[in-house]
Chain A
Amino acid sequence: MGRYVARRLLQMIPVFFGATMLIFLMVNVMGDPIAGLCGERACDTATAAQLRREFGLDKPLWQQYATYMGNVFTGDFGTAFNGQPVTQLMASAFPVTIRLTIVAILFEIVVGITLGVLTGLRRGRPVDTSVLVLTLVVISVPTFVTGLLLQLLFGVKWGWIRPSVSPAAAFGELIVPGLVLASVSLAYVTRLTRTSIAENRRADYVRTAVAKGVPRRRVVVRHLLRNSLIPVVTFIGTDIGALMGGAIVTERIFNIHGVGYQLYQGILRQNTQTVVGFVTVLVLVFLVANLLVDLLYAVLDPRIRYA
């Protein structure tokens, strides 16, 4: 187990360097960010040259990357064009997005798995059919449509929520945005759980448990669900990274100033430091989430051993 974790952690290093280098190259291909800084008119040459020097943009790309990575290891992610250190942007953005992700994941786990178990146990019944149709609708409707619709209905027509989230972005305000963000994954979780449950329901160990007279609830929870959760856990685990990075649409609709917002601003203003910094952290989140998922397998299925 310990060796397995160590090996996985070591594997992260090349992935980390590769990913950051790719992002660095991609942002740089977009051209000279200073060109867009002065609005519709060009910056005067002297100021532009000095800004370029200040942000290290006058150096060759490999040197920029080396300096950048060197700084990252000392915890310095550079400065955004508005003069704020990127770490400061992260400190304000990540907590918000993490809260939003937690709400979304909770929705996936609680609602998604519950619905999945229900429908898996009642295949072909009206409950099953209606949930299947419902998930199909959710999957096929784009997130921004769901988001704008809920915002309009709950926020404007009925006045149940504020249409936008305040800068504090407390958990209470994030419930509807979290639901919107989770919606598509939630539908997948439901369907995955349903299939898995329906398959395992006919397994020998379930029949044995039922024959032994184990109470129904215990059969479902301890035997059936536990064995059916592996694909679901894999999905939810990888989804953590996807949700954090993919929150751009939801964050825009509800005016949440999280990671998506900062990334969007960074790309629009072609701010290499912001974009690379945020993506670097997202890559780390993704890698750690994947590792945790793999370790969870052993908890769910003790036959899985890590050498």
Chain B
Amino acid sequence: MRGVARTRAFRGPRWAAAGAMAAVLVLAACGGGGAGVGAKALTASWGDPQNPLEPSNTNEVQGGKVLDMIFRGLKRYNPRTAKAENMLAERIETTDSQHFTITVKNGWRFSNGEPVTARSFVDAWNYGASLRNNQKNAYFFGYIEGYDKVHPESGRQSADTLSGLKVTGPRTFTVTLGQKFSTFPDTLGYAAFVPLPRTFFTHHAAWLDTPVGNGPYTIESYTRGAQMTLRKWDGYPGPDKARNDGVTLVVYTDSNTAYTDVLGGNLDLVDDIPAGQLKNVRTDLAGRYINSPAGILQTIAFPFYDPKWNTGGARKVRTGLSMAINRKQITETIFRRTRTPATDWTSPVLGTDGGFKPDLCGHACDYDPAGARKLVQEGGGLPGGQVRITYNADTGSHKQWVDAVCNSINNVLGNDRACVGNPVGTFADFRNQISGHRMTGPFRAGWQMDYPLIQNFLQPLYYTNASSNDGKWSNQRFDHLVDQANAETDRPRAIRLFQQAEGVVRDNMAAIPLWYQNGSAGYSDRLHDVTLNPFSVPVYDEIRVG
């Protein structure tokens, strides 16, 4: 206190304050320096991964980004076409869509020098499937025979390894599935299926501190919750070598700050343009703004476990509600064209060869007020007289569009109270109510594809008792068509069967498709060749600096 009391500032009143301010700014200017990266390296925004960075434990985009930089699997999804292409796989052979023989290419290594062998895969998959390891993506191995022993629904596991996996040579192994699954090889581009080096098992904690993989980048340093510095790995044997020297991923809590940092020249790449900035982004970043389709579909799901919603009449009401939503207007005004009105239940990134069918939904997804009113009336009106759309209010600006959707429905039905939003505080609580089957009305559902296959947009969501069938919808015909499609070895025929199954989803309006979500990114003028892959993640290895 004495030090304070001795201040002499009141002698020169105005200058004191001004002087203090000037000192502040000078000091502050000193604090800001370069980000400390090489000339051909870039900085990019990142979010703190929710889980430890194990491949089979990472189920969100932020951790997935890193895995995509430091790992390569048997297949890789082409960043432009989303097609699954062989990467480490030399051959994946099958005659019956149930028994597969996989040959790994020669000459691949982990960045610590260890060769990638068949065992690197089998050990990694066994680790991922084992209940003991608490891996959140364990269900990806659920198709492989013996999964129920390694990962039982309840009780202790009775085996440590999957009986469906066998190493048959240094570079070959066989996979036996529990059922026919023709597109199984195409799922192998997913991060959970990457190979792991021995150190992962022998020095687990150290590996988690600085993960070691076989991709184009190696991790130089990692400060949890703050930043990760990746360097180009010169010994990388793959065809997709990094075209820059490295990437520093900086954790941002708020995408607004990351965006401001790009404008201020403090950051090179932001891959999530905040909604509030969308109206300025084109002028702010003149040509350095990307807005490209990603494999994400937003829908409104229904609680079919609630008898009110599971009647013949309710089917008409659901279709009526779908027709009462003015998708075009909402995507243009609220999302500024970063969403595209949905016309089917998949995503444009699949391409028409991959199963995307632009007008599969047809009239049921068109805005038709008169038709909507008619259908809702025929169906016996709204169950309970009102729909409450439940959503989580903590992230993703869901409130805005739920209110807009309700507004649209209310206008069409001429009733201010026909539809209201029902916010839930946190995502965890929202998920909690969903998995506890406590929904009494429609609820927000978002689906980000795991792999670019039509199967992934249908089976996990609408197959009876499937892992993400949160509304408990069940339809025999749909299940039958999906089973047929999975058993079909001819790809075009399989896709046609999946589309027929999708037709069943449409006829019953099992979920209302709203819009396809785009990935958005902005970058500084130092960067060239910036693109987003179908998972809305930047293709870091292709970026050129300077």
Which residues of A are interface residues toward B (Cβ below 8 A)? 30-33, 35-47, 49-51, 54, 81-84, 88-89, 92, 109-111, 113-115, 117-118, 121, 127, 148, 151-152, 154-156, 159-164, 166-167, 170-176, 179, 220-222, 225-226, 229, 233, 251-255, 257, 261-262, 264-265, 267-270, 296, 299-300
Q: Is the CB of B225 within 8 A of A47?
A: no
Partner of A151, one of B51, B135, B260, B434: B260
CB neighbours (8 Å) of A269 from chain B are 50, 428
The residue that A31 contacts in the complex, of B260, B266, B395, B428, with Cβ under 8 A, is B428
Complex contacts, A35 vs chain B, CB 8 Å: 428-429, 431-432, 434-435
Q: Give CA–CA (A110, B9) in the complex, Å.
A: 9
Given A84-B224, A162-B32, A152:B428 Cβ within 8 A = no
| Given A31-B428, A46-B154, also A173-B261 (CB < 8 A) | no
Supply 4 further A-B pairs (C-beta < 8 A) apart from A40-B431, A42-B470, A154-B25: A83-B52, A155-B264, A164-B267, A233-B1
Q: List 6 A-B contacts (CB under 8 A).
A: A32-B428, A38-B431, A40-B447, A155-B266, A167-B251, A225-B5
Q: Are A30 and B131 in contact (CB under 8 A)?
A: no
Q: Is the CB of A229 within 8 A of B1?
A: yes
| Interface 1/0 per residue, B303-340 and A, CB below 8 Å | 00000000000000000000000000000000000000
| Chain B residues, CB < 8 A from A115 | 17
Docked complex Cα distance between A81 and B261 (Å): 29
Q: Does B135 contact A47, Cβ atoms closer than 8 Å? A: yes
User: Which residue of A has the minimal Cβ distance to B9?
Assistant: A114
- Least CB distance from A40 to B in Å reads 5
A268 touches B9 (CB 8 A): no
Q: Known contacts A42-B431, A82-B51; is A36 also within 8 Å of B426 by CB?
A: yes
**Contact partners of B468 in chain A: CB under 8 A:** 40-42
Nearest chain A CB to B89's CB is how many angstroms away?
27
Contacts of A221 in B (CB 8 A): 5-6
Q: 5 shortest A-B CB distances, which residue pairs?
A: A36-B428, A172-B31, A162-B32, A173-B31, A167-B226
Take A30-B425, A82-B49, A257-B225 as given contacts and tell me if A156 and B24 are in contact as well, using a CB distance cutoff of 8 Å. no
Within B247-277, which residues are at the interface with A (CB < 8 Å)? 250-254, 256-258, 260-261, 263-267
In the assembled complex, B236 has its CB within 8 A of some CB on chain A? no
Smallest CB separation, A128 vs chain B (Å): 10
Return chain A residues, CB-CB under 8 Å to B151: 44, 46-47
Q: Are A50 and B264 in contact (CB under 8 A)?
A: no
Q: Which residues 1-48 of B sit at the A interface, judged by CB distance below 8 A?
A: 1, 4-7, 9-10, 13-14, 16-17, 20, 24-25, 27-33, 35, 48
Chain B residue with minimal CB distance to A251? B253
Q: Is A252 within 8 A of B138, CB to CB?
A: no
Of the candidates A41, A175, A262, A268, the one whose C-beta lies within 8 Å of that of B24 is A175
Chain B contact residues: helix, strand, loop or mixed = mixed
Chain A nearest CB, measured from B87 CB (Å): 25
* Residue numbers in B under 8 Å from A222 (CB-CB): 5
B60 at the A/B interface (Cβ < 8 Å)? Answer: yes
**Whole-angstrom distance between the alpha carbons of A30 and B393 in the complex?**
14
Q: With a CB–CB cut-off of 8 A, which chain A residues contact B17?
A: 111, 114-115
Interface assignment of B240: CB less than 8 Å from any CB of chain A: no
Q: Give Cα distance in the complex from A111 to B16, angstroms.
A: 9
- Nearest CB on A from B28, distance (A): 4
Distance of A109 Cα from B6 Cα, bound (Å): 12
Q: Which residues of A contact B51 (CB under 8 A)?
A: 37, 81-83
Among B1, B4, B435, which residue has its beta carbon within 8 angstroms of that of A110? Answer: B4
| Interface assignment of B223: CB less than 8 Å from any CB of chain A | yes
Q: Which of B189-224 contact A (CB under 8 A)?
A: 208, 223-224
B136: Cβ under 8 A from any A Cβ:
yes
Contact between B429 and A38, CB atoms less than 8 A apart: no
User: How far is the CB of B494 from the nearest CB of chain A, in Å?
Assistant: 23
Contact of A39 among B60, B153, B253, B445 (CB under 8 A): B60
- Are B467 and A162 in contact, CB atoms less than 8 angstroms apart? no
Interface residues on B, range: 35 or more
Cβ B266 vs Cβ A164 within 8 A: yes
Q: How far is the CB of A13 from chain B (nearest CB, A)?
A: 29
CB pair B32 A161 closer than 8 Å = yes
**Bound CA–CA A270/B392 (angstroms):** 13
Residue in A closest to B428 when the chains form the complex, CB atoms: A36
A198, chain B: closest CB distance, angstroms? 14
- Determine which residue in B6, B9, B428, B446 has the highest number of CB atoms from chain A within 10 A of its CB, and name it: B428
B546 near A: Cβ within 8 Å?
Answer: no
- Assess whether B27 is in contact with A92, with CB atoms less than 8 Å apart: no
Could you tell me the distance between the alpha carbons of A37 and B460 in the complex, rounded to whole angstroms? 18
Among B33, B51, B430, B432, chain A packs the most CB atoms within 10 A around the CB of B432
Select A163's contact among B6, B139, B257, beta carbons within 8 Å. B257
Which residue of A32, A45, A47 is within 8 Å of B136 (Cβ)? Answer: A47
Asked whether A82 lies within 8 Å of B224 as measured between CB atoms, the reply is yes
B29 to chain A: which residues have CB within 8 Å? Answer: 160-161
In the complex, the answer to whether B31 meets A162 with C-beta atoms within 8 Å is yes
Interchain CB contact under 8 A, B426 and A270:
yes
Asked if B263 contacts A114 (CB within 8 A), the reply is no
The distance in angstroms between the C-alpha atoms of A31 and B425, with both chains bound, is 10
The interface residues of chain B lying within 8 Å CB-to-CB of A170 are 31
Also in contact, A253 and B4, with CB within 8 A (given A156-B260, A159-B265, A163-B266): no
Contact across chains for B50 and A82 when beta carbons are under 8 A apart: yes
> Which of A42, A152, A253 sits near B467, CB closer than 8 Å?
A42
- CB-based nearest B residue for A296: B1
**B50: contacting residue among A30, A37, A164, A176, CB under 8 A:** A37
- The answer to whether B432 and A51 have CB atoms under 8 Å apart is no
Asked if B261 contacts A164 (CB within 8 A), the reply is yes
Chain A residues, CB < 8 A from B427: 36, 268
With known contacts A42-B468, A265-B48, A113–B136 Cβ distance under 8 A: no
Q: Is B134 an interface residue (CB 8 A)?
A: yes
Report the minimum CB–CB distance from A185 to chain B (whole Å).
Answer: 15
Indicate which residue in A109, A176, A251, A268 contacts B4 across the interface (CB closer than 8 Å). A109
B131 — nearest CB in chain A belongs to which residue? A46
Q: Nearest-CB distance from A217 to chain B (Å)?
A: 8
Q: A54 — which chain B residues lie within 8 A by C-beta?
A: 134
Nearest Cβ on chain A to B342's Cβ, whole angstroms:
17
B234 at the interface (CB under 8 A from A): no
B486 at the interface (CB under 8 A from A): no
- The reply to whether the CB of B152 lies closer than 8 angstroms to some CB of chain A is yes
Task: Give complex CA distance A257, B32 in Å.
Answer: 17
Knowing A160-B28, A172-B30, the reply to whether A45 touches B50 (Cβ < 8 A) is no
Counting chain B CB atoms within 10 Å of each CB, the highest count among A92, A148, A156, A220 belongs to A156
Q: Out of A45, A113, A257, name the residue touching B7 (CB < 8 Å).
A: A113
Q: Are B10 and A173 in contact (CB under 8 A)?
A: no
Asked whether A47 and B49 contact (CB < 8 A) given A162-B32, A173-B32, the answer is no
